[in-house]
Amino acid sequence: METNFTMHPDCAEILIGPEELQKKVKELGKILTEEYRGKDLIVLGLLKGSFVFMSDLVRAMDLDLDVEFMVVSSYGASTQSSGNIKINLDLKADLTGKHVLIVEDILDTGRTLYNIRDIIRLRGPESVKICTLLDKPARRKTDIKADFVGFTVEDKFIIGYGLDYAEKYRNLPYIGVLRPEIYQ
């Protein structure tokens, strides 16, 4: 597969390339297939950031599963989480007795996932686990850890493969560090 690295050439320094991303997604898919084999699974994506990762991830899982989404936000047009979690679109599925895997693009401060996990737990699932493509533990503000992690990253503002800055750069085929001059 030919990759176009000329897309937005001056916006970011490449941190994780497309091939490395796909290798990790396949690895996580195998782990999750074993974890959830024979279980009634709902894969819950937090939009918008998780859509690219989740799309690749569910195709790497050899399971029957349901897919649901929630739209939540805490960043807006900033490089920092506001701490105010807003549910813009809630899921409609009954979670009673189901196994829920929350899929997120990045676990940063943890505020969003901490709150969403607690909301989901109140809806009666058998289990709730978290799979994140990226974990940024240096910025953690809550006591939360993902059950499945693709990559641990440094405290830099990253974009691409679903992650954005002010709703831009989600379509980059790699994870990159946003150049400071873009947001300063």
Dist CA 95 CA 92 (whole Å): 9
Type and span of the H or E element at 28: helix 18-36
Q: How many helices (H) and strands (E) does the chain have?
A: 4, 9
Residue found by looking up tokens 């960043």 in the block: 75
Catalytic positions, written as ranges: 108
Which residue type is seen at 181? Answer: E
Residue 63, Ramachandran bin (φ over 0: left; ψ between -120 and 50: alpha; else beta): beta
Sequence-separated (6 or more) residues with CB below 8 Å from residue 171:
7
